Structure 1
Amino acid sequence: MLADQALALFDGQLKSQNRSEHTVIAYHNDIAQFLNYLGQEKSCDPGEISLEEISVEWVRSFLGDLTDQGLERKSMARKLAALRSFSKLMCKEGYLDHNPVQRISSPKLGKKLPDFLYLEQMEKLLKTPDCATVLGARDQVVLELLYGSGLRVSELAGLNQEDVDQDQMLLRVRGKGKKERIVPMTEYALKAIQVYLDMREHSQRPLLLNYQGSRLSVRSIRRILDKLALEAGLPQHIHPHMLRHSFATHLLDGGADLRSVQELLGHAKLSSTQIYTHLTREHLRQVYDETHPHAKSN
């Protein structure tokens, strides 16, 4: 079978699997790019290439060329996944007797370090809401719980008044998979909650309400952070998870052990928490460079 016929067959297979139009187009373009590369190397029309000409050596050569062009590993991994699916289908249909991509490992994707706020930035943000108004008092609660207890934005939006144990300064939080955990809150958070509830006219169960008296949504919390960051004069876009990242980073910088931070964040695996050690290592390096007399040569 010729390559252009195989590509049409592959497109039909993806569509029959109810893949999104974006996925079908992306995979089609990835295979077409490989075939164009092969055609250029063989000095022939890509559509005239026979499937039998596709080999592990040519796939590796193609990936090597992409590396030389500076393509990100994430994009390379997707192209390899497209080639793997394409070859698997051709084997299944009997047009290839072996999968030339099977022996090629996907490139390892480096974990992106999470964005976080430095302590001075966080303190500036915490001082921004106007707590003399009910909405400002509510926004203060948003900041204190996202940062002070490391909540996910969905966990914050889902809090009810009965989830707050003011005597023990604890929160009952429903995390991923509706798993419940108990997390502490700061004195600042407790005071903010008390001020807000005293000013509020509505008695509904949700802890946080919008101006209409309904539960505050995740989208609204994101908009609140955008507004507060602008008012605080912070240079970067602030999203809710940045405050959760800041919570974890500042705890580890302060000497908290990794297991405790894992429990507080509600991570099922310790590996999910370990990414923050990269951030604290950067902090330690900075402290070391700035304070040790032999850290840097003059």
Structure 2
Amino acid sequence: MRCFLFWMAVTILVRRVQHPVSPAAVAAPGGNATLECSFSTSKNLNLTNLIINWQHGETVVHSFYLGQDQLDRQGQAYKGRTHLFKDELLEGNASLRLIRMQPDDEGEYSCYVNNEQDSTTRRLKVILAALFDEPLLSLQPTCDSINITATLSNGFPQPEIRWFDSSGRDILQTSTIQLDTRGRYKVSSTISSRQNAIETITMEMKLEVLNQSFTRSLLLHPPPDPCQECCSTPFTSRNRTAMATVVTLFVTFILILMFAVKKWKASHGQQEHEQAM
């Protein structure tokens, strides 16, 4: 313990190196990330004199000193999820491996290293993001309209989805959003279109953080006149007409079947009578 306090005191005397925030590290929810951090080293570096401390705000993410991991003060959310590249410490690699990324892992991290010669602090911003799969489009026609649904899966964060017509006017949409066990989104966006003329409908999706975008267009034709006439008929009337048709066909089939059975029995009985004589 006195050795550790001695090296903590030495950090006041050694040269300090402060680095600006490094470019963001992007990781997918449920995936793994490597938070990079390097420091100057020498052939005489002794791991027992090396201090590494990773923090996320005020929370200790991982600590290493006296030649080994020191995780007593590690934040509860990071238990069992971090490790250093021990075989590369003497080469100046203090990078941290963080597994099973969670939404709360986003933010700025600091890496403090003291190696007897220099005191180095690096800062790194972590962003959670994942590309969406290709959108799936499905069409569900109804009596007087058509419902169009675009489904996007396995991405993060929520995307921006826009529907518009040939004139560029926005079309009202309804959305359902689900979050899977990894923390990635499945988003379904649906519009209802009632077209009296040929129309182009376009779906546009954007995920700004990863500069991802999709554009899909559909050319819709109005339904034919017979379908429109069908839609103008009351639903109960259509049901009654269909039921009457089915009943008529069924009764006709039964009558034909009874006639055929009766004729067969008559013919069969006559043959037996002739044989008996």
TM over 0.5: no
TM bucket by the smaller chain? under 0.3
TM-score calculated relative to the size of structure 2 = 0.25
Larger radius of gyration: 2
TM-score calculated relative to the size of structure 1 = 0.24
Structure with more strand by fraction: 2
